[in-house]
Structure 1
Amino acid sequence: MVADLLIDDAYLYVDRGWEIAGGWIAIKDGRVQAVGAGADRPEARRVISARGRLVTPGLINAHHHMYQNLTRAFAPVTGASLFDWLRGLYPRWAMLTDESVYVSTFVAIAELLMGGCTTSMDHMYVHPRPLLIDAQIRAAREIGFRFYATRGSMTRSVEDGGLPPRSVVQDEDTILADSVRLAETYHDPAPGAMTRLALAPCSLFSVSERIMVESARLAEAHDLRLHTHLAEDHDEDRYCAEIYGCTPVEYFERVGWAGPRSWVAHFIYPSEAEIGRLAHAGVCSAQCPCSNMMIGGGSADAMRLRRLGMRVGLGCDGSASTDHASMWLETRTAMLLGRYRNGPTAMTARDALDLATRGGAACLGWDDEIGHLRPGACADLVIWHLSDVALAGALSDPVEAWLRCGPAQAATTIVHGRVLLEDGYPVAPHLPEILRAHERLARRMQAVPVG
């Protein structure tokens, strides 16, 4: 059988424990058809020479807020604590429209492709207007990106003891009805799906107990996953102690979320016993190293979580806290942070790559098809580029060199067997026009007076 596409002459990282020097990978109908080495490569309609470069599975972004690239590096709040940072930006995010969500999602996906990401979720929890997630899905489909939308929500405004203004929160019945609508309209549980949906109340301090409980029930009824922020900040500990009389993790368990449908973002401040309980229940977590270090609020110890039995992925988090959407940079930072915290033998480049691939796939409940390049997997992969200067002297281990040298960038990013990034730049339609619209919308949003 003639393949649609053949990647040849690569150092191929197929999966943990399976690497091929001088390898090839054949793609047919959006799937990995075969991998191998030597002259037995199949015929293909198109051949891309990797010229000895590293080829990996596409990286998987397990936590993001794409709309936040409209307020990147926003100076008035760059030195704030998490809660003060949110208070400073919520009034700007209240200006989100169908156009600004579509444009910011389009730009976010283009940037993710440049950083080697082939599947991303997005935690969209600010809803000043209806149908904003529909705009996100439209952008992802135009590009051809594998997208895991999440129906986020907030119910508690400042008047109700929360952080956001009333303009960005919704009533419970609206949230639950729209959750059902989105699930029935867009969620595709079939193998190889390009669009899936999860339910994702923003945080324990921003939604009512009813939303947490009913979201878990809807997830069970519609076979969806669940996502939220958890154990991210000491202010969250104080809030849960005051309002619920328990820790964030204890409340998470109380409302029926401690099960294999759930994955959480950040998870910085749980006790060891709480980690063990959630790991045993099948909950996964997404570490967001750059964002948490930028805000200065601590960061999860990914390798400790794994030692205690929890599956861990990586996330870029919001583009207004991380200020970038490069999964390569998140992966490198995760490795450096792991070694800084626990010593030079604590974490290798392969450990970090496993977080960014298999770990992210586990968060999304999708590790049968994505996060690896075994035959039958979705054909989502990256040919990486490092300059000859950066690689000079790095002769022994291409995977370690990929993270230790650098910066690396994706030369070619392939999703579902389609080339979406070529020669380091997205092939997305009308990207220049999108960027001009993005600048106009970002200027308008950032012009809102502080305070």
Structure 2
Amino acid sequence: MLPEARGSWIKDAALLVEDGTITYVGPREGLDMRGFDIVDLGNVAVIPGFVNAHAHAAMSLLRGYGDGLPLHAWLERIWRIEAKMDQEVIYHGSLLGVAEQIRSGITSFVDFYNVEPMLRALRYLDLHVRAVLTLAFMDRVEYMAEESWRRLRSIGEYTSMVREWDGGRLDLALGPHAPYSCSPEMLRDLAEASAKLKLRVHTHLSETEEDVAKVREESGMTPAAYLETLGLLNERLIAAHGVHLTDDEISLMGKRGASVVHCPRSNSRLGTGVARIREMMDAGVNVALGTDGPASSDSLDAFEEMRLMVYLQRARLGSPSAIGASDALHAMTLGSARAAGLDDVGALRPGLRADFVALDLGSIHMRPAWDLTTNVVMSAGRADVRYVYVEGRPAVEEGRVLLRGVEEAIASADEFRDLFRDVENTVH
């Protein structure tokens, strides 16, 4: 068992859980377990549940769409489809996306899509995850302009609804899509609401050179400096991507306590570049990991993100020691938990939620284990996820997702794809 990403493994370990909360982590020998229901998970490596700091779960319905396009051409096509997606479609996409994350060992997440369908999906799945749901704003995108201002006027109601939904397990974040897709007026209003209600602000920052150029042309500043002038650059900021941040921006973000969510597969697939993660870590920026959406990363797979994070930084810097496996695991657990403001997940310690993953150690690609943390990050995959527990309850058992509605969500995916074939055919 590995209580924390950068910690030491405990052999022949026990984990005691009462009412969904961890009460003991340590050696099993000599432990008095009378009165407890005992579950022997077998020959497994137990690690904290992953925290996905940037996801678009409902975009599971757009998996594989627009491959080969650069980001902004891809977005234009995506937005044409999304403008036709109603709440029912998004609900089914949310079901599919949440189930896929659970299968990958992701037990907490920060989602950037529609709030109401995700709430409905979590209720139907009877899944008591810790999650931050992002209320999206894009007043410079035609189909979202009017809705963005309506949402701005209703932030208080959305905040109460989400925070009261499942016993305080969920929180709301404010999601200006990007500095270039929101007006300065909207960004200022969101900064005020964030400060007043203590809400995270979740945005896409400096994902492409084109993004940076748009902000520079309008404001005369780099994107991070622009957010600073608007009151958005602080410890509540969750900045996805950060591929083209300058040295000064990285230093500023470190000083302000902001988080950058690295999405290596999405950035690679869309050809946007490689974020300078080593430099961010050295500057004190909190680095988290995210899968982005399946439309740009192909799957909601924590293992693939961790592995590629390590490979890309080592290749970029020409150094096999640029970052280690434990750095990637930390980013996918405690780093992401910090970004999301979730202080009861990301590690296995008494008082924290019993969210954990058990990986099969019997797989041929997991042996031998000279360094088990390296094996987990560099060799394991979601097929090795044997058990997943969310708040002490099994969500995956013997590799099978126990959540209801999963088969129906899978079956409906192709039906929804066919509904939008006419839209897809108009955007070539």
Q: TM-score, normalised by structure 2?
A: 0.94
- Corresponding position of 1:160: none
CA shift for structure 1 position 378: 1.0
AA aligned to 2:244 is Y
AA aligned to 1:92 is I
AA aligned to 1:34 is Y
- Alignment of 1:31 onto 2:21: yes
Written as runs of structure 1 = structure 2, the 5 A alignment for 1:193-208 is 193-208=168-183
- 1-side partners of 2:130 and 2:46: how far apart? 19
Contact in 1 for aligned 2:201/2:238 (Cα 8 Å): yes
Q: Give the 3-state SS of the residue equivalent to 1:277 in structure 2.
A: helix
Distance 1:395 1:186, change over 3 A: closer
- Corresponding position of 1:108: 97
Written as runs of structure 1 = structure 2, the 5 A alignment for 1:125-140 is 132-140=114-122
Distance 1:346 1:186, change over 3 A: same
Equivalent residue pairs, number: 421
AA aligned to 1:31 is T
- Corresponding position of 1:398: 372
- Corresponding position of 2:134: 150
- Corresponding position of 1:259: 234
- 1-side partners of 2:163 and 2:92: how far apart? 22
Which of these residues, 110, 117, 122, is aligned with residue 121 of structure 1? 110
Contact in 2 for aligned 1:63/1:123 (Cα 8 Å): yes
- Corresponding position of 1:127: none
- 2-side partners of 1:339 and 1:54: how far apart? 26
Contact in 1 for aligned 2:16/2:23 (Cα 8 Å): yes
Structure 2 gap ranges (5+): none
- Alignment of 1:168 onto 2:168: no
- 1-side partners of 2:116 and 2:340: how far apart? 20
Written as runs of structure 1 = structure 2, the 5 A alignment for 1:246-395 is 246-342=221-317, 343-366=319-342, 368-385=343-360, 387-392=362-367, 394-395=368-369
Deviation >4 Å, runs of 4+: none
Q: Give the 3-state SS of the residue equivalent to 1:317 in structure 2.
A: coil
* 333-342 or 225-234: bigger deviation: 333-342
Q: Deviations over 1:18-40 (max 9, x none)?
A: 43111111111111110111323
AA aligned to 2:136 is G
CA shift for structure 1 position 45: 4.3
Distance 1:43 1:178, change over 3 A: farther
- 2-side partners of 1:388 and 1:118: how far apart? 23
- Alignment of 1:87 onto 2:76: yes
Q: Give the 3-state SS of the residue equivalent to 1:227 in structure 2.
A: strand
Q: Give the 3-state SS of the residue equivalent to 2:299 in structure 1.
A: coil
Contact in 2 for aligned 1:152/1:199 (Cα 8 Å): yes
- Corresponding position of 1:46: 37
AA aligned to 1:56 is I
AA aligned to 2:171 is R
Choose between structure 1 and 2: higher strand proportion.
1
- Alignment of 1:19 onto 2:1: no
- Alignment of 1:219 onto 2:219: no
Sequence identity (%): 27
Contact in 1 for aligned 2:266/2:291 (Cα 8 Å): yes
Structure 1 gap ranges (5+): 1-10, 125-131, 158-165
* 237-246 or 60-69: bigger deviation: 237-246
AA aligned to 2:233 is A
